[in-house]
Chains A and B, each alone.
Chain A
Amino acid sequence: MIAPLRVIARLGRYTLDGISRTGFAARFFLATLLHSGTAFRRFGLTIREIYFAGVLSLIIILVSGLFVGMVLGLQGYETLQTYGSESALGVLVALSLVRELGPVVAGLLFASRAGSAITAEIGLMKATEQLSAMEMMAVDPVARVIAPRFWAGVISMPMLAAMFSAVGIFGGYLVGVVLIGVDEGSFWSQMQDKVDFQADIINGVVKSVVFGIAVTAIALFEGYDAPPTAEGVSGATTRTVVTSSLAILGLDFILTAFMFRGVS
C-alpha cells in the first residue's frame, strides 16, 4: 500500500477502535448501573470498598487539604491587605475551597490514589483469570466486583472533598488568625455571612459527586478493559490517572459555567 493510503487506513482504524471502545465503555457503565442491586443489598461489600478507596485515601487528602488551606491563607492575606480588607480572609479561603479547590484537588488526588489502585486491582484480577473464575462459578463479576467499587467511589468522593475543604479552612485559620493575627471574629462571621449553603456548598458537593462518578467509572473500565499482561495493566493504570484528571478539569469547567451563572 502506498504511504498516504496507509495513513488514511491507520486513521480509519484508530477512529473505528475509538468508537467501538467508547461503545463498550458506555455498555459497561450501563451494565454497572443495572447490576447495582448487589452493591446495596449486600452493603457490606460496598463498605469494604469504601474502606479501600475512601478511608485509605484520608491521609493524602487531609494533609494536602491542610497545606492548600495554609497556602490560601498566606496568599489571600498578602493580596487582601493591599486593599485593607484582610478581615475577608475567611470568606476567600472558604469560597475557594468549597466551590473549587475542595472538589477538584480532592478529585485529582482521589484519581491518583484510589483510581489507579482500582484499575490495577481489576486489571490483575482479569489477568490472573479471577474474573473468569467468578463467571464460571455463576457469579456475575460486574455485580460482585465492579458495582460495589463503583458505588464506594461515588460515596467516598464527596466525603473526601468535604473533609479536604474543612481541613483547608482550618489551615487558612491557622495561618491567617493564629500566625498572622487576622481578627478571629471577622474571619468566622464573614465566612458565615457570605458562604451560601445552596450556591456554594451544595454546588461543591454536586461537583464532587460528578467527579466521583467519572473517576471511578474510568478506573473500573480501564481495569476491566486492560490487556491481561504486565504492560497492559501498567498502561491502563496510567490511562486512568491521565483520563480521569482531564475529565475532572473538563467537567469542572462545564459545571462551573452552569452553576455560578449570575452568582456575584
Chain B
Amino acid sequence: MENLVEIENVTFGYNARPILKGINMTAKRGQVVAIMGSSGCGKTTLLRLIGGQIKPSKGLVRVAGQNVAELEQDGLYELRRKMGMLFQFGALFTDMNVFDNIAFQLREHTSLPEEIIRDLVLMKLHAVGLRGAANLMPSELSGGMARRVALARAIALEPTLVMYDEPFAGLDPISLGVIGNIIRRLTDTLGLTSIVVTHDVQESLKIVDYVYFISEGVIEAEGSAEEMRASDLPFVHQFVHGEPDGPVPFQYPAPPYAEDLGLSL
C-alpha cells in the first residue's frame, strides 16, 4: 500500500525546548494510524507539522509526495483542501449553527448551488447520526455531539486524509464507542487515511491498524494493535495497562522528599 504521509527524521522544538527528536513515521492509504503517548509528549505538534501550521527544524514531512514545509501559502491551502482535521474540542464556529458549520467549506471552496450544498450537508450529518440536529447552535450540543458535528465538518470536502486530535477526550462511554466506530467506518467506506492522536488506549486499539507510541519526543514502540497489546516493552506495558508507576514515573522530578520536608534521616 502506498504511503500518504511520510515523516522522516523530524525534529521540532519551541524556542530551545525540543519536543520531537528524530521522528520517523508513515501512514499508508486507507489505514487508521494512532499516535499515542502521555499528555504533552508532542502528539498534537505532529499533526500541526503534517497540516503545515508549523515547520520542522530538521527533517521532512511529506503528504501525498509533497514536502509540506516547502509549500507556499497557495500550495499549502491546495493541499489542506484534501485534509480534514478534528480538533480536540471540536472548534466549531460558535456564531453558526450546525448546518452552516458543515456547509462552511463547501461555500468557501466550491460554487455549488445551495440545494446541492443542503443535500451534501444532510448526508454528512446523517453519516454521524445528527441529521436532526442541523438547526442547533454549537452551544446547544453535548460534548459528544459537538465532536460528531466536527467530524462531519472535517469530511465535508471528502478529504483523503483526516487527522483527529484527541477525539475521545472527555466523552462518556457511549459517545466513545460511537466516535471510534464512526472513525473506522468512515475510513473504510470513504477510503480515507486517518491519523488519530490519542491517549485512550482501550478505545483506539479496537479500531486502529497501526500504532506509534511516543514518549519524550521519540518513538518508543510501533506495531499493530495486537503486537502492542502483547508487547512486553516496559513503556508500552505501563501505557496499555494504565499502571501508575513505571518508566513514566508517578512523581514529577523533585529533590528528595525528606530534604523538602526538612527531615534529617
Within 8 A of A (CB), among B73-118: 73, 76-78, 80-81, 83, 85, 87-89, 91-94, 104-105, 108-109
CB-contacts of B149-167 with A (<8 A): none
Chain B positions within 8 Å of A180 at CB level = none
Question: Beyond A130-B93, A137-B104: 5 further Cβ-contacts under 8 Å?
Answer: A130-B92, A136-B51, A136-B83, A138-B77, A138-B108
A140–B80 alpha-carbon span in the complex (Å): 12
A121: nearest chain-B partner, CB-CB: B95
How close is A140's CB to chain B, nearest CB, in angstroms? 8
**Chain B residues with CB under 8 A of A139:** 104-105, 108-109
State the total of A-B contacts with C-beta under 8 angstroms: 49
Give A137 to B51 CA distance when docked, in angstroms. Answer: 10
Kindly identify which residue among B76, B94, B108 contacts A137, using a CB–CB cutoff of 8 Å.
Answer: B108
Interface of A (DSSP majority class): helix
Q: Closest chain A residue to B109 by CB distance?
A: A138
CB <8 Å contact, A133 and B91 = yes
Q: B108 and A128: CB pair below 8 A?
A: no
Q: Identify the 3 closest CB pairs spanning chains A and B, nearest first.
A: A138-B77, A129-B91, A133-B91
Bound complex: CA A124 to CA B92 (Å):
12
Q: Chain B, interface size: which category?
A: 20 to 34
Contacting pair B77 A133 (CB below 8 A): no
Say how far A70's CB is from chain B's closest CB, in angstroms.
Answer: 38
Is B53 an interface residue, CB under 8 A from the partner? yes
- Neighbouring A residues of B108 by C-beta, 8 Å: 137-139, 144
Assuming the contacts A128-B89, A129-B87, A129-B91, asked whether A135 and B104 have C-beta atoms less than 8 A apart, the reply is: no
Could you tell me which A residues sit within 8 Å of B by CB distance?
A: 124-125, 128-130, 132-140, 144
Sampled A-B contacts (17; CB under 8 Å): A125-B93, A125-B94, A129-B89, A130-B91, A130-B92, A132-B91, A133-B85, A133-B93, A134-B93, A135-B53, A136-B51, A137-B81, A137-B108, A138-B76, A138-B77, A138-B80, A138-B81
Shortest A125–chain B CB gap in Å is 8
Q: Which B residues are in CB contact (< 8 Å) with A132?
A: 53, 87, 91
**A136 to B77 CA separation, bound complex (whole angstroms):** 8
- Closest chain B CB from A83 CB (angstroms): 56
B80 touches A136 (CB 8 A): yes
Chain A residues in 8 Å Cβ range of B94: 124-125, 128, 130
Tell me the complex Cα distance, A137–B102, Å. Answer: 11
In the bound assembly, the distance between CA atoms of A130 and B77 in angstroms comes to: 17
Cα A92 to Cα B113 in complex, Å, equals: 57
Contact assessment for B87 and A133 in the assembled complex, using a CB-CB cutoff below 8 Å: yes
